[in-house]
Chains A and B, each alone.
Chain A
Amino acid sequence: MARPSASSFGWLRGFGTRISLFLLILVSVGLLVQYKVSDNNQQFSGVRQVTDDVTSPISNAITTPMWGTKRAWGFISSHWNAAKRVRQLEAENQTLRQWEALSHALHNKIVRYEQLLQIQGQPDLRVLSARVIAETRGPFVRSVLLRVGRRDGVRQGQAVVGPNGLIGRIVTVGNHSSRVLLVTDLNSRIPVQLEGSNTRAILAGDNQGNPKLIYMGKSFVPVAGTRISTSGDDGVLPAGIAVGELLTLQSSDVVRVRTYADLSAIDFVQVLAQPSLVPPEAEITEPVPAQSANTTGDVQ
């Protein structure tokens, strides 16, 4: 451990150093107060983007051998119970084949109905795979850093999914990196809908393991196991992305959701890039000219 010099902190008695320490604490408090009163996620976003861009290659270099080791360990450990896994997968495969046939039939039926009703479907999503290079699971923030950025087509607000469901959304985008706010983060708010009913709610994170539902409406009766997906009401996230299911109500009135995506160990994710829709009012560039020069309001 540290063998201190005889003058440990003795220099600090210097007036200048004390003043600088005091001033720096004041600056820190000032920054915190500014965060509190301003739009939290947008505070110093430019500086954050630059920091993420600069540090992401180094983080990538650090995590590369870690992922290599993890993959090697996974490869070795998978051989221990290979026979058992094969039997499990064969059984699972049989079930999935039945579901596949059903899903094809339903898909064809939906396409036919949409053609008959002339429904405008959802725009096609572009999927971008990315690796997690840094992770923040502190007591205050739940976010991960991806090694893809603006140059790869990532934009703020896009949905990020794992193998089983929604993980979060993009909050900051740099040229080569982007930050994902997890659904469990305190600042995360995702509009969702409950399967089987048309109930809308907001999925809100509070830095706990399972996010909670808020603004469900007074008539809402929670049923454990109800599936939840994104509603797309914010116009940013695509509708229908699987999120999770309702948990059994505990003693409190808080309704919590078990996410399908495993948020405890995220390694690879997919960013869903949805073409942005231009609202009609934004398309109007010039006022429509009047039909006639008669502005007096005379109507025949």
Chain B
Amino acid sequence: MSARITPLSSVGARAGLLAWIGGPTLVSFVGLLIYVAPVHLLGVHIPMPLFPLMAIFFWAMARPQLMPPIIVFAIGLLQDLMTGGPLGLWAFSYLSAYMVMTLKSEMFAAHGDASLWVGFALMVGCTMVAAGLAGWLVFGSQVDWLYLIVQSFITVLVYPLAGRFYRRVQRSTQQARRLYDVHHGHRI
């Protein structure tokens, strides 16, 4: 089945392709900015969910070609720089969890939203264990494990909401990609 859509200018078509490719990275970056924002609830600091990890998981499952290891590494490194922490800590944690997820991704992908949520919980667990171990390597025994556990719970709880938003972004960028394909005469 083929469809012809109104021809698009070359610049518009390329912008569509760029949005499709760069969308996940941009969303991860925005998540990172929100992650470091000083948010207080009734004057008390609450651990922020790991928004970058949510974006990594979503696109690693939905469109893995848009979330290759080098992007995961870059997001982790940027998080280390923006939080003022040891360089390599979050990059290592995200990549380790990403590697573990590659082994079980098809199992979680096959059973719908609930199993994806379980998969995400597993990825958060892997990330926190990796972060805790890396922190232990660097700082010794002075790692705030309670903070890690609370942050993990909040991250897992927030994921279904964030996932809805990411799906909308994914649909929009997918549409932009289609327009690019149409412009270049590809059948869709």
> Interface on A for B, CB 8 Å cutoff?
1-5, 7-12, 17, 20-21, 24-25, 27-32, 34-36, 40, 43-44, 47-48, 51-52, 55, 58-59, 62-63, 66, 70, 132-141, 143-145, 171-172, 179, 181, 186, 206-208, 262, 264-267
Partner of A140, one of B62, B65, B89, B166: B89
- How far in angstroms is the closest Cβ of chain A from B142? 5
- Closest residue to A30 on the B side, CB-wise? B88
B87 touches A43 (CB 8 A): yes
B105 touches A8 (CB 8 A): yes
| New contact pairs (12) apart from A8-B62, A27-B88, A139-B132, CB-CB < 8 Å | A2-B59, A8-B64, A9-B61, A21-B99, A28-B92, A51-B78, A59-B36, A66-B37, A134-B38, A135-B38, A139-B143, A139-B151
- Closest residue to A207 on the B side, CB-wise? B144
Residues of chain B lying within 8 A (CB to CB) of residue A44: 81, 87
A8 touches B106 (CB 8 A): yes
In the assembled complex, the Cα of A161 lies from the Cα of B83 at a distance in Å of 20
A35 touches B92 (CB 8 A): no
In the assembled complex, the Cα of A116 lies from the Cα of B167 at a distance in Å of 76
Residues of chain B lying within 8 A (CB to CB) of residue A10: 64, 106
- How far in angstroms is the closest Cβ of chain B from A179? 5
Residues of chain A lying within 8 A (CB to CB) of residue B58: 1-2
In the assembled complex, the Cα of A59 lies from the Cα of B85 at a distance in Å of 18
In the assembled complex, the Cα of A9 lies from the Cα of B105 at a distance in Å of 7
Partner of B143, one of A134, A140, A143: A140
In the assembled complex, the Cα of A40 lies from the Cα of B145 at a distance in Å of 21
In the assembled complex, the Cα of A140 lies from the Cα of B37 at a distance in Å of 17
In the assembled complex, the Cα of A266 lies from the Cα of B39 at a distance in Å of 10
Instruction: Give the contacts of B131-147 with A (CB-CB under 8 A).
Output: 131-132, 134-135, 137-139, 142-145, 147
In the assembled complex, the Cα of A70 lies from the Cα of B116 at a distance in Å of 36
Partner of A35, one of B88, B143, B148, B164: B88
Residues of chain B lying within 8 A (CB to CB) of residue A35: 86-88, 138
- How far in angstroms is the closest Cβ of chain B from A49? 10
Residues of chain B lying within 8 A (CB to CB) of residue A265: 40, 43-45
Residues of chain A lying within 8 A (CB to CB) of residue B147: 137-139
B167 touches A139 (CB 8 A): no
In the assembled complex, the Cα of A48 lies from the Cα of B81 at a distance in Å of 6
- Closest residue to A41 on the B side, CB-wise? B84
Partner of B37, one of A8, A40, A63, A262: A63
B61 touches A2 (CB 8 A): yes
In the assembled complex, the Cα of A136 lies from the Cα of B38 at a distance in Å of 8
In the assembled complex, the Cα of A58 lies from the Cα of B109 at a distance in Å of 35
B82 touches A143 (CB 8 A): no
- How far in angstroms is the closest Cβ of chain A from B154? 13
Instruction: Give the contacts of B52-94 with A (CB-CB under 8 A).
Output: 57-65, 68-70, 72-73, 76, 78, 81-89, 91-92
Partner of B38, one of A7, A30, A132: A132
- Closest residue to B143 on the A side, CB-wise? A139
In the assembled complex, the Cα of A17 lies from the Cα of B59 at a distance in Å of 16
A40 touches B86 (CB 8 A): yes
Residues of chain A lying within 8 A (CB to CB) of residue B36: 59, 134-136, 145
Given contacts A21-B69, A139-B151, A143-B83, contact A31 B91 (CB under 8 A): yes
- How far in angstroms is the closest Cβ of chain B from A260? 16
Question: What 7 A-B pairs are tightest by C-beta distance, nearest first?
Answer: A31-B88, A28-B92, A4-B109, A135-B38, A1-B163, A139-B144, A136-B83
In the assembled complex, the Cα of A133 lies from the Cα of B38 at a distance in Å of 7
B160 touches A139 (CB 8 A): no
- Closest residue to B134 on the A side, CB-wise? A32
Residues of chain B lying within 8 A (CB to CB) of residue A207: 139, 142-144
- How far in angstroms is the closest Cβ of chain A from B72? 8
Could you mark each residue 145-188 of chain B with 1 if its beta carbon is under 8 Å from any beta carbon of chain A, else 0?
Answer: 10110010000000110011011000000000000000000000
- How far in angstroms is the closest Cβ of chain B from A48? 6
Residues of chain B lying within 8 A (CB to CB) of residue A179: 84
B64 touches A11 (CB 8 A): yes
Given contacts A4-B109, A59-B33, contact A186 B95 (CB under 8 A): no
A139 touches B105 (CB 8 A): no
B88 touches A9 (CB 8 A): no
Residues of chain B lying within 8 A (CB to CB) of residue A21: 69, 95, 98-99
B38 touches A140 (CB 8 A): no
